[in-house]
Amino acid sequence: MSFISQFLQRFKTSLEFKKHLKNVLGFSPGNLTLYKTALSHRSVREGADENNERLEFLGDAVLSSIIAHYLFRRYPYKGEGFLTEMRSKMVNRQKLNEIALKMGLKKITIYNKADAALKISQIFGNTLEALIGAVYLDIGYAKTNRWVEEVIILPHLFTDDLENVEINIKNKLYGWANKNGKQIEFATLNESIENGRRLFTIAATVDGQIIAQAKGFNKKDAGHIAAQMAIEKLGITS
């Protein structure tokens, strides 16, 4: 099914799309073409100028900058290490995916629903970053800064709670291994092509034995999921 067919199946008119988008954004969008690109996954639009990967790259940088500025103001007496760790907690892929789902992005993202591999991928967090990139190009940095704080940070990223969250799953696993004299390694079991994209299978091993394995469209995401699965399987709580 072509992108146009999928779009028309989801939204009968551009006016309907604009209405749905306004509900998600909280303001009336200007350049609809820009937002259509931001919400178009590579699985339905291959061209670099058609899917949301370039906007995801831009949105990632914009979001990181906005959160860095927010934390700089929020914690005037904290050092660089603390601020860097907090930013990592706030922009990690799993957290962004959760926020995207709560915001309703799944309902308006155009992607190949028949692709089973996408079910294990956190594409909506990526789409959220692409959306931030589109907002930035549409309304400028200052307004985007306010929008991110009002729509993403304040309702979804509670810094008081995040201060006590261990977000680096791999470090948690390595810490357990050091205490128990175990050797943790992450190995690439397989690399294949699905629907034109590289799909990685990463295994978490303990003393050479595979404990968990996961798939993802990049090694970082697959490794993160494998580490989380390993922690659950090993019953690691602290």
46 C-beta neighbours (distance < 10 Å), count: 12
- Active-site residue, from 50, 56, 60, 115: 60
DSSP letter string, 110-127:
B--TT-GGGGGS-HHHHH
Q: 143-177 burial by CB neighbour count: b if 16+ within 10 A, else e?
A: ebbebbbebbbeeebeeeeeeeeebbbbebbeebb
Q: How far apart are CA 228 and CA 216, in angstroms?
A: 14
Q: SS3 of 92, please?
A: coil
Angle at 13 between CA 7 and CA 14, to 5 degrees: 85
Decide: 43 and 117 in contact? Cβ < 8 Å.
Answer: no
Are the CB atoms for 197 and 219 separated by under 8 Å? no
Q: Which segments within 63-147 are labelled E, that is strand?
A: none
Active-site annotation holder among 49, 80, 129, 185: 129
60 tagged catalytic: yes
The greatest distance separating any two alpha carbons of the chain, rounded to the nearest whole angstrom, comes to: 61
Residues involved in catalysis: 60, 129
